[in-house]
Amino acid sequence: MKVLTTNHRNLGALYLLLSLAAVTIGTLLSLAMRIHRVWPSLPFPFHGQIKPEDYLALVTMHGTLMIFFVLTVAPQLGFASLVLPEQIGARSMAFPRLNASAFWLSAFALVLLLAAFFVQQGAPISGWTAYPPMSAVAASGPGEGAGMDIWLASIGVFCIASWLGAVNMLATILGERGAGMTWSRLPMTVWAWLVTSILTLLVFAVLLAAVILLFSDRHFGSSFFVPAGDLVNGTVVGRGDGSPLLWLHLFWFFGHPEVYIAVLPGMGLATSLFANFANRPVMGYRAMAAMLVAIGFLGLVVWGHHMFVSGMNPYAGTAFALTTMAIAVPSTVEVLGWLSMLTRPGPGGLRFPTPMLFALGFLSFFIAGGLTGPILAQPVLDSYLHNTFFVVAHFHLIMAMAGVFSLFAGVYYWYPLLTGRLMNETVGKLHFWISLIGAYGAFLPMHFSGLAGEPRHYERLAGPVATFSAIAANERGITFSAMLLAAAQLLFLWNIFDSARRGRLAGPNPWSATTLEWAPEGAVGRIERQPYEYEIPLNETKFHPQWESASKQE
Amino acid sequence: MPAMLLEAICAAKSPPWMPPNGAIHGIGLDQLMRWNLLAVSICFLVAHIWLIGALLRRRSHDQTGTPSAFRWTLFAALCAMYLCMAITAQHLWASSRYAGAAPSAMQVEVVGEQFQWYFRYPGADAAFGATRPDLVNAAEGNPLGLNFHDTRSRDDIVSSVLVLPVGHEVDLRLRSIDVIHGFFIPGMRLKENAVPGLVLHVHFTPTTPGTYPILCSQVCGLGHARMQAVLSVVSAAEFDAWLASRGRPEQQTQ
């Protein structure tokens, strides 16, 4: 594999390796946090005691790595580069060189971000949301100087990379579909990528603008986000009369759709896998596709639900609460559609290879994390739960765990396309069950910590006034589960590298799939079939891949 | 404080894990929270029983008769639940946030500063005096930068403990001197950010005497986790005695 490749499949592999590096580092950072919370005085090798600012730097870098470099890169650009052109009957991406540039910019952004650990005072401590004035004023704390500048530069580069990647994806879907690939013949993954690429174009542009404005506040004497008379660390820094709330609006206009960018591809993939392994067509294909679009659209008008208690007008809180609650409706349609498909599989019944298990895990987390969404959408309940561990539990289930389980599903599923071999099923199933237990053990009890009032970003439970001793056992359980969850990933790493050499040879179409990425070389002509043509009324599994001609009798 | 959290688990009146509620608006909030938690827990269980049932069965026994009527009913029921949540929540939100405090409410200013909460009472003139950022000097006993050339400042009382009389509505004006802080009293079911450049009002009525932790809920720097204070809810007589015991503002910031 050439390193400076423009081949889309090689780029897909590179994107996934980039995410693998980021997720490995991000996981280690989260383990450090979990260990510190339970054993606060335990010194770390090569570092010593974790100081409060070290903990906040860990939180900030964990969030930034996971959200940008794992959950944005892998499900979207990683998987799309891997299979999107084949799935729509195209030879290649519309702009292969743009795709390659986007990858190298992402890789550069990752290196830049990690460099923040090594500058004076270390990485920034203001969280991945970087609220000003803290992020605008270097004197507000350690890491808010050089570390914050590097963070801003990295995110700025990442915005451009994502934007270029999305231009390429959207152009490919709109312009490169093969003959006969109509909208109703698109696999569900392509519908998801269509929506996420549009969202990316809209919201990363806004984030880039916000990042530039913040950089300008820091270095060019502007005052977009810093109010007049603001006094930080003994110095009046407010020059003009800016507003910190402006940053919150700009950031969350990006930040909320970002969640859908992370999870929509997983929804599309799960739909495809359920059809494949239940040997049946997607139930209500048009409705399921329309709901993906609806979720994407509604995702653009709900950002204020991150700001119910930020000082935003309470009437605006009501408006954002209603739009947010509305997202529950298309999400419910999706979940009921999936459950119905699984209840009524085709004549072959359900099959449970590892990719299917992870898709089912995705569904379980989607339900678990999704259900707390309507709770947090109520401003009055959010006025208790906001910024507590309840929210941490919510987004780790719906975005992180659902997202990552869909990534695992995709890697196990598409692995033969890259290596010609299948990943080890026994190890894969072990990986699934331990991860499932570890993930629920880590994130379900966080709801209880949140209900007890434990705020996010606290490096220790016992403060001068509130001790939270009632949740100490809960917190220990979370840490042990997190360790189990992380340990299970060693199985995954071993499986990836070992199966590339020793895995069972996959042969053509190992999953009996219908979508075009599994078509034999040269088999794709004019597309005349739906994406998931499994014949139900027979007593044996029968399916028609999309590369099969509709007139051919078998 | 540990006793308080222990009580939270035992007290039947609070939703699970939550500390006891001590404010009027918290009663409705707790009710809403309880049935919300119950409803989503049931949905979670039912969905997983459905899912696991389907997986164990593995194959479909009836290929005829579509249960689409059942799906539509379920869908409608869930939408009704979301609507019910939205409407109840909006009622409570509107009643506690749309309108300001009653004119009779007591005024207290809350000021967040890395990493300390300060509470200012307006004194006998019922007016807060002017402040200036360049006058802020915690070491010399003026952490809020009161401008003593303003006569209204002279009787202002600055405290590091929030003392409130029970049963009396309080109107808090939230400010921050430096960065965004999150003003959070779990026991009063109250949270609102303190944002530099803005003065934000929240109001509530404490119903139960006792002490309640005040936390910072918005990451504000390396001292975020120790930026805590105490709310002490006392009887009206004790409150008056406490207020009278406070001298001139210069001596009052321990």
Q: Are strands A235-236 and A231-232 parallel, antiparallel or unpaired?
A: antiparallel
Helix (H) or strand (E) holding B106: strand B106-113
Is A383 part of a structural domain of the chain? yes
Mean pLDDT for B37-48 is: 96
Residues of A in contact with B96 (CB under 8 A): 380
Q: Return residues 353-382 of A near B (CB < 8 Å).
A: 360, 363-364, 367-368, 371-372, 374-375, 377-381
Global pTM? 0.94
Which secondary-structure segment (H or E) carries A276? helix A244-278
Question: CA of B18: which chain A residue's CA is closest?
Answer: A452
- H or E stretch covering A31: helix A8-38
pLDDT tens track for B135-155: 999 888 899 999 999 999 999
- A372 interaction partners in chain B (CB closer than 8 Å): 40
Q: What angle do CA B131, B132, B134 make, to 5 degrees?
A: 145
Tokens standing for residue A131: 């609220």
Is ipTM over 0.90? Answer: yes
Mean pLDDT in residue range A513-529: 90
Please report, as a single letter, which amino acid is at residue B230: V
Reference A52, options A39, A66, A36; nearest CA is A36
Take residue A102 and report the two structure tokens written for it.
Answer: 């986007």
Q: Is the pLDDT of residue A71 over 70?
A: yes
| pLDDT the model gives residue B62 | 57
Is a pLDDT exceeding 50 seen at residue A491? yes
Compute the distance between CA of residue A259 and CA of residue A296 in angstroms, rounded to an integer: 10
DSSP state string for A400-468: IIHHHHHHHHHHHHHHHHHHSBPPPHHHHHHHHHHHHHHHHHHHTTHHHHHHTT-BTT-S-S--SS---
Strand order in the sheet with B190-194: B162-165, B229-234, B210-216, B181-185, B190-194
Picking from B148, B146, B127, the residue whose alpha carbon sits closest to that of residue B136 is B146
Please state the length of chain B. 254
pLDDT bucket at A550, cuts 50 / 70 / 90: confident
CB A61 within 8 A of CB A29: yes
- Residue A460 binned pLDDT confidence (cut-offs 50, 70, 90): confident
How far lies A238's CA from each of A93, A131, A209, A368, B58, in Å?
48, 15, 21, 44, 65
Name the amino acid, one letter, at A100: A
Residue of A nearest to B186 (CA): A453
Split at pLDDT 50, 70, 90, the class of A536 is low
Comparing CB atoms, the residue among A140, A231, A340 nearest residue B221 is A140
Query: A448 — contact with chain B (CB < 8 Å)?
Result: yes
Whether A1 is in a domain gets the answer no
3-state SS class at B137: strand
Lowest mean per-residue pLDDT among A92-101, A149-158, A516-525, A538-547? A538-547
Query: How do the domains of chain B map onto residue ranges?
Result: 2-59+67-98, 106-251
Q: What is the mean pLDDT of the segment spanning B1-22?
A: 66
Strands B170-176 and B106-113: parallel
Q: Residue B187: pLDDT above 60?
A: yes
| pLDDT bracket for residue A3 (50, 70, 90) | low
Structure tokens at B239: 């409150």
Q: How far is A208 from chain B (nearest CA, A)?
A: 22
A519 contacts A90 by C-beta, under 8 angstroms: no
Nearest to A498 by CA among A490, A506, A486: A490
Q: Which of B 4-23 lie inside 8 A of A, CB atoms?
A: 5-6, 8-9, 15-19
Q: Which residue has the tokens 């929210």?
A: A391
State the residue range of the domain holding A373.
Answer: 8-544
pLDDT tens digits, B91-139: 999 999 999 999 999 999 999 999 999 999 999 899 999 999 999 998 8
Q: A526 in a domain, yes or no?
A: yes
Q: Using 50, 70 and 90 to split pLDDT, how confident is the model at B10?
A: very low
Query: With 70 as the cut, is the pLDDT of residue B171 above it?
Result: yes
With cut-offs at 50, 70 and 90, classify the pLDDT of residue B58: confident
How many folded domains does chain A comprise? 1
Comparing CA positions, the residue from A438, A466, A443 lying closest to residue A454 is A466
Average confidence (pLDDT) over A472-488? 96
CATH 3.20.20.80 fits B106-251, yes or no: no
Q: What is the mean pLDDT of chain A?
A: 94
Q: Do A310 and B193 touch (CB under 8 A)?
A: yes
- Helix A146-175 / helix A79-87 crossing angle, nearest 10 deg: 10
Least confident span in A292-296, A546-550, B183-187, B209-213 = A546-550
Binned at pLDDT 50, 70 and 90, residue B60 comes out as low
Residue A541 at interface with chain B, using a CB cutoff of 8 Å: no
3-state secondary structure at position A472: helix
DSSP 8-state assignment for residue A486: H
Rounded Cα distance between A450 and B188, Å, is 15
User: Is the model's pLDDT at B251 over the cut of 50?
Assistant: no
Least confident interval from A46-50, A346-350, A438-442, B38-42: A346-350
Q: Residue type at A480?
A: F
Q: Please, what is the end-to-end C-alpha distance for chain B in angstroms? A: 22
Answer whether A172's CB lies under 8 Å from A88's CB. yes
- For residue A42, the domain's CATH number is 1.20.210.10
Nearest chain B Cα to A133, which residue?
B179
The pLDDT value recorded for residue A157 is 98
Kindly determine whether residue A453 and residue B114, on different chains, have CB atoms separated by under 8 Å. Answer: no
Q: Least CB-CB distance to B5: which of A132, A374, A470?
A: A470
Evaluate whether A447 touches A397 at the Cβ level (below 8 Å).
no
Average pLDDT for A333-346: 92
Q: Which residues pair with B172 in a beta bridge?
A: B108, B202
My answer on whether omega of the bond before A353 falls inside 30° of 0, hence cis, is no
The pLDDT of residue A149: 97
Any A CB within 8 A of B218 CB = yes
Which residues are within 8 A (CB) of B74 and not within 5 positions of it... i.e. 6 or more apart? A336
Distance to chain B for A91, nearest Cα, Å: 38
What letter represents residue B136's amino acid?
A: V
How many Cα atoms within 13 Å fall on the side-chain side of residue A206? 19
Q: How far apart are CA A479 and CA A42, in angstroms?
A: 14
Q: For residues A399 and A261, what is the distance between their CA atoms, to the nearest angstrom?
A: 10
